[in-house]
């Protein structure tokens, strides 16, 4: 057991410290070079540094490379390559406005190393009912899963601190579930994601000093999806991510096509005179998680973020119950 | 509205577990023997088709559920 505890502690400390200490200088460099965007949810004109994905990927790479030194698992290589590719895809999108096709297609390509490295098991585990072998279908699942998790996290990156805070809850849940299922090595591989998110949340929480950008959000989502695949916890991972999945589902079912958020003309949310968020009556605007949370009346940005975190904790509890149910057979 | 969101989350969780049951109990053991060496390809193709149909049915159920939960809450 000690051979697992030491790498786990080292990778957790490294992932947290790298992001914690590299983000402040990154904010200075980005601000100095005018890599800033307006925070649309603030009354005053506040410019915020972007993209924070650079410190996020740095924290992930350092900790995962150290873990590879300990375990030499193909699963860790798959995490490193796919996550780095997702970061690069997001970084391109941060610097240059790309078409709606760009992220889904390139993220699907970023998933290929998981297949080439054989870092997956083609059976899908369900609670109460056991496993089902789907060798061909599973390849399709890998190709689809990374774009879905990447874009799902990207789609909830709408308010200060929400994407990183949500990732803290979802990734700690995923690690706990992997420990419950006895998949200790992948549980340790997943811990840096939780600690990187936690360190980044310090600077991303309201009022944000830095935004993760597409590079940060896609890095979070792609690493989460890769861990779900290499750890064989796809269903549990999907359950822990349900509030973000609902957001994407509501958006797609109201818009009825795959489009970038910036292409939507109708605004789902507007501001009251005291700068609280309020749901609009605009019928052309998409239905989103934030719009539904605001349906009963205006709330501050902080209150909306808190409501999303409560939903994430609720789905995290459902995911942990599901992990316990994996050991039960009907 | 927030209680509706929790209800919707819970319903999605239930649908995932029921869907898993259908996959494992009905779809997993499904085989075809009449087509010689190609029986597994045809069986896999059929499984994929049934799985996709199930996904579409699940999305329709969720859409109905979404309309029912949120319209009910907005009217109250």
* Percentage with pLDDT > 90 across chain A: 69
Residue of A87 and B34 predicted with greater confidence: A87
Are A239 and B13 in contact, with CB atoms under 8 Å apart?
yes
pLDDT of residue B75: 57
A130 touches B: beta carbon within 8 Å: yes
pLDDT of residue A109: 96
What is the domain partition of chain A in residue ranges?
2-253+304-325
Residue A209 confidence class, pLDDT cut points 50, 70, 90: very high
pLDDT of residue B35: 65
Cis peptide before A226 (omega within 30 of 0): no
> What would the mean pLDDT of A212-231 be, rounded to a whole number?
96
Nearest-CA distance from B28 to chain A in Å?
A: 5
A108 touches B: beta carbon within 8 Å: no
- CA-based nearest residue in chain A for residue B25: A129
Residue B63 confidence class, pLDDT cut points 50, 70, 90: confident
pLDDT of residue A299: 92
Beta carbons of A132 and B28 less than 8 Å apart: yes
User: Is the pLDDT score of A276 beyond 60?
Assistant: yes
The tokens describing A57, both together, are 């990927």
Nearest to A318 among B1, B13, B62 (CB): B13
B65 touches A: beta carbon within 8 Å: no
Give the model confidence (pLDDT) of A73-111 as tens digits: 999 999 999 999 999 999 999 998 877 788 999 999 999
d(CA A224, CA A228): 6
What is the domain partition of chain B in residue ranges?
2-75
As to burial, measured by CB atoms within 10 angstroms (0-12 exposed, 13-18 middle, 19+ buried), residue A290 is: buried
Residue of A274 and A223 predicted with greater confidence: A223
Among B3, B8, B20, B75, most A C-beta atoms within 10 A, so best to mutate, is: B20
The tokens describing A59, both together, are 């924290």
Beta carbons of A127 and B20 less than 8 Å apart: yes
Nearest to A249 among B28, B44, B62 (CB): B62
Beta carbons of B2 and A249 less than 8 Å apart: no
pLDDT of residue B76: 53
Beta carbons of A128 and B20 less than 8 Å apart: yes
Nearest-CA distance from B37 to chain A in Å?
A: 16
Residue A252 confidence class, pLDDT cut points 50, 70, 90: confident
Give the model confidence (pLDDT) of A116-157 as tens digits: 999 999 888 888 888 887 777 889 899 999 999 999 999 899
Residue A1 confidence class, pLDDT cut points 50, 70, 90: confident
Nearest-CA distance from B39 to chain A in Å?
A: 14
A303 touches B: beta carbon within 8 Å: no
User: Is the pLDDT score of A257 beyond 70?
Assistant: no
pLDDT of residue A32: 95
User: Is the pLDDT score of A306 beyond 90?
Assistant: yes
A148 touches B: beta carbon within 8 Å: no
Residue A315 confidence class, pLDDT cut points 50, 70, 90: very high
* Percentage with pLDDT > 70 across chain B: 80
The mean of the pLDDT values for chain A is 91
Beta carbons of A129 and B62 less than 8 Å apart: no
Nearest-CA distance from A133 to chain B in Å?
A: 7
pLDDT of residue B71: 67
Nearest to A292 among B12, B62, B70 (CB): B70
User: Is the pLDDT score of A171 beyond 90?
Assistant: yes
Beta carbons of B21 and A129 less than 8 Å apart: yes
d(CA B30, CA B51): 12
Integer angstrom CA distances of residue A306 from A160, A161, A239, A289, B44: 11, 10, 19, 13, 44
User: Is the pLDDT score of A254 beyond 80?
Assistant: no
A249 touches B: beta carbon within 8 Å: yes
pLDDT of residue B74: 57
d(CA A236, CA A324): 10
User: Is the pLDDT score of A31 beyond 80?
Assistant: yes
pLDDT of residue A233: 94
Using a CB-CB cut-off of 8 Å, the residues of chain A touching B25 are 129
Q: How many helices (H) and strands (E) does chain A have?
A: 13, 6
User: Is the pLDDT score of B40 beyond 80?
Assistant: no
User: Is the pLDDT score of A190 beyond 80?
Assistant: yes
Residue with tokens 């502690």: A9
> What would the mean pLDDT of A160-166 be, rounded to a whole number?
96
Using a CB-CB cut-off of 8 Å, the residues of chain A touching B69 are none
pLDDT of residue A240: 96
A299 touches B: beta carbon within 8 Å: no
Those residues whose C-beta lies under 8 Å from the C-beta of residue A215, and which sit 6 or more positions away, are A51, A53, A54, A56, A57, A87, A88, A90, A91, A93, A94
State the greatest distance between any 2 C-alpha atoms of chain B, in Å, as a whole number: 61
């Amino acid at each position: 057991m000690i051979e697992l505890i030491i790498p786990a502690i080292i990778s957790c400390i490294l992932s947290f410290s790298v992001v914690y200490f590299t983000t402040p200088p990154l904010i200075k460099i980005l601000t100095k070079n005018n890599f800033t965007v307006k925070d649309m949810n603030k009354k005053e004109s506040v410019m915020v540094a972007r993209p924070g994905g650079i410190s996020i990927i740095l924290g992930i790479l350092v900790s995962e490379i150290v873990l590879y030194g300990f375990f030499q698992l193909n699963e860790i290589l798959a995490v490193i390559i796919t996550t780095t590719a997702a970061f690069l895809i997001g970084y391109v999108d941060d610097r240059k406005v790309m078409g709606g096709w760009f992220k889904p297609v390139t993220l699907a390509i970023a998933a290929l190393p998981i297949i080439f490295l054989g870092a997956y098991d083609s059976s899908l585990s369900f609670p109460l009912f056991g496993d089902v072998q789907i060798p061909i279908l599973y390849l399709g699942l890998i190709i689809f899963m990374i774009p879905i998790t990447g874009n799902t996290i990207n789609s909830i990156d709408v308010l200060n601190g929400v994407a990183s805070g949500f990732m803290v809850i979802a990734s700690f849940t995923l690690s706990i579930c992997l420990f419950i299922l006895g998949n200790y090595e992948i549980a340790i591989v997943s811990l840096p994601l939780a600690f990187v998110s936690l360190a980044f949340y310090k600077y991303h929480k309201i009022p944000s000093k830095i935004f993760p950008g597409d590079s940060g959000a896609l890095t979070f989502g792609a690493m989460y999806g890769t861990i779900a695949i290499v750890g064989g916890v796809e269903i549990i991972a999907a359950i822990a991510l349900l509030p973000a999945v609902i957001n994407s589902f509501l958006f797609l079912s109201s818009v009825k096509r795959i489009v970038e958020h910036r292409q939507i003309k109708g605004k789902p949310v507007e501001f009251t005179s005291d700068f609280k968020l309020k749901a609009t009556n605009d019928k052309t605007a998409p239905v989103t998680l934030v719009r539904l949370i605001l349906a009963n009346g205006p709330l501050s940005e902080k209150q909306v973020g808190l409501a999303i975190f409560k939903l994430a904790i609720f789905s995290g509890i459902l995911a942990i119950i599901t992990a316990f149910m994996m050991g039960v057979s009907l | 509205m927030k209680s509706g969101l929790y209800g919707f989350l819970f319903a999605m969780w239930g649908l995932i577990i029921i869907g898993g049951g259908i996959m494992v109990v009905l779809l997993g053991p499904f085989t075809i023997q009449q087509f010689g060496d190609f029986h597994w390809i045809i069986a896999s193709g059929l499984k994929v088709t049934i799985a996709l149909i199930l996904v579409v049915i699940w999305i329709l159920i969720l859409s109905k559920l979404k309309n029912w939960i949120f319209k009910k809450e907005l009217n109250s």
